[in-house]
Amino acid sequence: MTSLFGSSRFLADSTQRDRGSAVIETAMMIPVLLAVTVVFLTTIQLGITSVHLTDTAHDLARALARGVTQSQINEQASAEAPDAQLLLSNTDASVTVTLRQDIDVPIPILSRFSFTFERSATAPIEQV
């Protein structure tokens, strides 16, 4: 049988060259998809940690402004954000709570990268 190019052998050869390429492409994409997934999950974890530190700093500042003692604030900070450093400052009219936490990326290849989150909250002192 003769085709446009002279023989049907050309058509058989072109399909033979394509065989197996889907398997190779899939095998090459699995590590890429895995890496993208890990980076995505790490980004979500960093975002959740940031929001948690912000909320905790706000709660601590509000409690301190209402008259809770510093020892109780230290206990609450240790319970809610055990890995964070607590810094307290106050003026005549307000108190400021700062939480600072160093976060290492939990990926062995990226373990030398770390982030420092510092979240502050200020609350006016409430008179009783």
Domain boundaries, the chain: 9-124
Separation of CA 40 from chain center? 8
C-beta atoms surrounding 119 within 10 Å: 21
Q: Which residue has the tokens 């699995």?
A: 30
Q: Which amino acid is at 40?
A: F
The beta strand positions in the chain, using DSSP E, are 85-90, 94-104, 114-124
Q: In tens digits, what is the pLDDT along the chain, a chain of 128 residues? A: 555 555 555 555 555 566 667 778 888 899 899 888 988 988 898 899 999 999 999 999 999 999 899 999 999 999 999 999 999 998 889 999 999 999 887 777 777 778 889 999 999 998 76
Residue 53 in tokens? 């530190």
E strand or H helix that includes residue 73: helix 70-80
Q: Which amino acid is at 97?
A: V
The span from the CA of 90 to the CA of 122, in Å, is 9
pLDDT at res. 1:
52
